[in-house]
Structure 1
Amino acid sequence: MPDPHDDFTAYAHAQLPRLVTTAHLLSGATGDPGEATELVRRTLVGVCARWRRIPRDDVDFYVRRSLVREFLRGARRQQVPSHGVLKDTSARQRAVLVMLHREGLREAEVAQLLGWSAGAVGSRARRGLAVCGGDAGRLRELFAEAAEVAEAAEAVQVGSGDVPFGVSLAAVEQRGRVLRRRRRAVVTAVCALLVVPAGVFGVGRVVGGGTADGAAAGAVDVARSPIRIVAPGERVAALPGVQVWLTSDGKHWSTPQRPNQFLGLTEESYASGSKAGAGKPGASVQPDRLNSSYFLSGLYRGLSADPARVEVTVDDSRMTGTVLTLAGSPGWGVWYTRAPLSLAELKSSYGDGGPTVTVYDAAGKVVARGGADW
């Protein structure tokens, strides 16, 4: 049987020049390969640790998101002043400008990438561009020039040793495997402490645990979401003291601290904070404090069929949500899960855009993304 990491090695080797160049532009140190090399190394270790769970048609998005979030985490910890092409811009402005004017993404795509609202992305793009002189065309030219400098530095690095760009993929894989084993042990321990309400699985249609179709999705060991069809107004005991119910106009939920909350389908704020039109795929995340953990829930919409899996990411933690939907596959529904997070951990995650939700279809393809409002 082939090693499941073989395609990671091939992918990382092919993408290494682009990743290092992008990391140079984010850090601004285009003549010094050390900072960019370390950023790429940390990113690839995290990707390798989760490689088996990443749908193969979504790898580029996941790797790009991991690179930018790793950069933002490092910038927040070290408070390093900006320099290079993006001198005097903040780290978040830098990330937005590189994604827009070097990587060629649209504002909506950057919002999905970072889990921010489209308004937050647009605001940071405008402010960052103003700091850089206000000329988007000139900024793209400066990025191209800086990329040439970075590539020249990378060429020197390649010629000076046996490790391309200073990133040893063998060491990355070894570290990634260790990290994956540690995370698996932590998840196993946490799952043993959490009690899943039997009512979620006892009524209605449930799609069981197990794995997604690897032949279709290219991913391995991916649990599907439990899915339950409910009647309008039917209350579901999601957790002790927490109820969720649906009506034709949106999501209702009640917690001990915040009873009788509502989020309507027409509210623009939930689709990644973007002003998405009706029917456009989108998703939201709303956190509610429950003693030492959080109840995370949200709406998804714009789908042609019910999702097979809804996954929420908070920093390095990934959780599979339970799905509630009305009969007839209306193309929208509610997801929820319990997250063993502290208040400090949740607040810290907002430095990188906050919780992000990804909705997959039965083939493992991403059909909607979104996150908490910024």
Structure 2
Amino acid sequence: MPHPHDDFAVYAHAGLHRLATTAHLLSGTPADPGEATELVRRTLVRVCARWRRIPRADVDFYVRRSLVKEFLRRSRRRPAPSDGVLKGLSARQRAVLVLLHWEGLREAEVAQLLGCSTGAVRSRARRALAAYGGDVEGLRKRLREAAEDAQVAAGAGAFDVPLDVVRRRGRALRRRRRGVVVGVCAAVLVPAVVVGAGQFVGSGSGGGAETGAAGVALSPIRVVAPGERVDAVPGVQVWLTADGEHWSTPQGSSQFRGLNDSGYTDSYWDKVKGGRGGGAEVSGGSGKSGVSVRLDPVNSSYFLSGLYRGLSADPARVEVSVDDRRITGTVLTLAGGPGWGVWYARSPLSLTEVKTSLTGDGPTVTVYDTAGKVVARGGVDE
């Protein structure tokens, strides 16, 4: 259940000092709190704009993810800081070290937050720590000292982020996003959604979408035989075999993603972009478990799909967030419960929506179990 609207100010006020400290460690500019202040302000505006749609149990994840995404976006336009506790490191290396050794997240949690594999997190952390002689405790001590300085500055008002301004700009951003989505849907997607709705009723394992106790639509789960073709959307077929996923689109027929004995190949989960057929493929796994997002061009729109594996519980709902839209996916799996499967969305994305999404947080896929608990999450690794 989303937070009541008035809870945003309470949450932001309570977490402002912690958020400013993390931003200060990321930006690495101890003599100038302005960069950290701007990071916090932009992060809170984005969170405020999506506040109504952020699940109660996921607020911290969304705030951290928004902060890091904003930091990485801004770092592309700025040189690496020449001072500070993490001087000389790349933006991604700084993000990994701060999340691991200041925020105290596990490697798998950092991988979910960044939308990459645990192997990529481990590799970046190892290379970054080499600059400190591999001394983890020494690094943590330096981070604590820098954080204490930032907290003193925050207490003295150095990180001045007026929440009334944040809320006003957040509401304006929400209205702009809603206007873009409504305009695009009206012009491009309404016919496709109508057709997809008719297919939805007549396909899957039942006669329509099920709903949970809270009225949330569960994903249609379809168990298929090896090689059984499924018409996902007009022009796209998906089928599974024991060794992996196959799909065909007008831009590329009989494409294949293979398996090895332990699951999807490491090259798949470590891959970030450059999928076959001109699609953009985004890794969102965590080691040997996780979920991915792939965008494949189909005529004038994009087909969203992905792979999941190694979950702690069977998926009950797969939800894709694209800015303010939430799309419930369909799940395909082989008979016998092999521990992996495919999800796809029946509503395509227009080119405009894809571009708008990728300039923000990008498409995010979340997998829930029957109790509504998040068991995997993946998204764009910008």
Amino acid at match of 2:320: E
Deviation (angstroms), 1:294:
2.5
Report the Cα distance in structure 2 between the residues aligned to 1:334 and 1:52, rounded to whole angstroms.
29
TM-score relative to the length of structure 2 = 0.80
Structure 2 counterpart SS, 1:78: coil
2:290 corresponds to which of 278, 282, 302: 282
Deviation (angstroms), 1:326:
4.2
Are 2:343 and 1:335 equivalent residues in the alignment?
yes
Structure 2 counterpart SS, 1:183: helix
Are 2:371 and 1:359 equivalent residues in the alignment?
no
Deviation (angstroms), 1:370:
3.0
1:102-181 equivalences in 2 (<5 Å) = 102-157=102-157, 165-181=159-175
Amino acid at match of 2:85: V
Report the Cα distance in structure 1 between the residues aligned to 2:306 and 2:49, rounded to whole angstroms.
27
Structure 2 counterpart SS, 1:259: strand
Report the Cα distance in structure 2 between the residues aligned to 1:294 and 1:346, rounded to whole angstroms.
13
Report the Cα distance in structure 1 between the residues aligned to 2:217 and 2:353, rounded to whole angstroms.
28
Aligned to 1:219: none
Are 2:309 and 1:309 equivalent residues in the alignment?
no
RMSD over aligned CA atoms reads: 3.3
Deviation (angstroms), 1:123:
1.7
The percent of aligned pairs where both chains have the same amino acid is 60
Amino acid at match of 1:289: P
Structure 2 counterpart SS, 1:21: helix
TM-score relative to the length of structure 1 = 0.82
Partners of 2:291 and 2:378 within 8 A in 1? yes
Partners of 2:112 and 2:286 within 8 A in 1? no
Residue 136 and residue 61 in structure 1: after superposition, are their counterparts in 2 closer, same or farther (change >3 A)?
same
Deviation (angstroms), 1:88:
0.7
Report the Cα distance in structure 1 between the residues aligned to 2:233 and 2:372, rounded to whole angstroms.
28
Report the Cα distance in structure 2 between the residues aligned to 1:212 and 1:347, rounded to whole angstroms.
31
Deviation (angstroms), 1:57:
0.9
Structure 1 counterpart SS, 2:59: helix
Report the Cα distance in structure 2 between the residues aligned to 1:230 and 1:129, rounded to whole angstroms.
46
Are 2:260 and 1:267 equivalent residues in the alignment?
no
1:1-374 equivalences in 2 (<5 Å) = 4-157=4-157, 165-192=159-186, 193-194=188-189, 195-196=192-193, 197=196, 198-204=198-204, 205=206, 208=209, 213=214, 224=217, 226-232=219-225, 233-247=227-241, 250-264=244-258, 266-269=263-266, 272-276=284-288, 281-301=289-309, 302=311, 304-312=313-321, 316=323, 319-326=326-333, 330=337, 332-337=340-345, 338-341=348-351, 345=355, 356-371=364-379
Deviation (angstroms), 1:184:
1.7
Report the Cα distance in structure 2 between the residues aligned to 1:298 and 1:318, rounded to whole angstroms.
18
CA distances 1:122-172 after superposition (whole Å, capped 9, x unpaired)? 2211121122443111111111111111112112216xxxxxx31111221
Aligned to 2:272: none
Residue 206 and residue 10 in structure 1: after superposition, are their counterparts in 2 closer, same or farther (change >3 A)?
farther
Structure 2, unpaired ranges of 5+: 270-283
Report the Cα distance in structure 1 between the residues aligned to 2:68 and 2:37, rounded to whole angstroms.
14
Report the Cα distance in structure 1 between the residues aligned to 2:102 and 2:19, rounded to whole angstroms.
12
Structure 2 counterpart SS, 1:199: helix
CA distances 1:8-58 after superposition (whole Å, capped 9, x unpaired)? 221111111100000000001234322111101111111111112111111
Residue 225 and residue 258 in structure 1: after superposition, are their counterparts in 2 closer, same or farther (change >3 A)?
farther
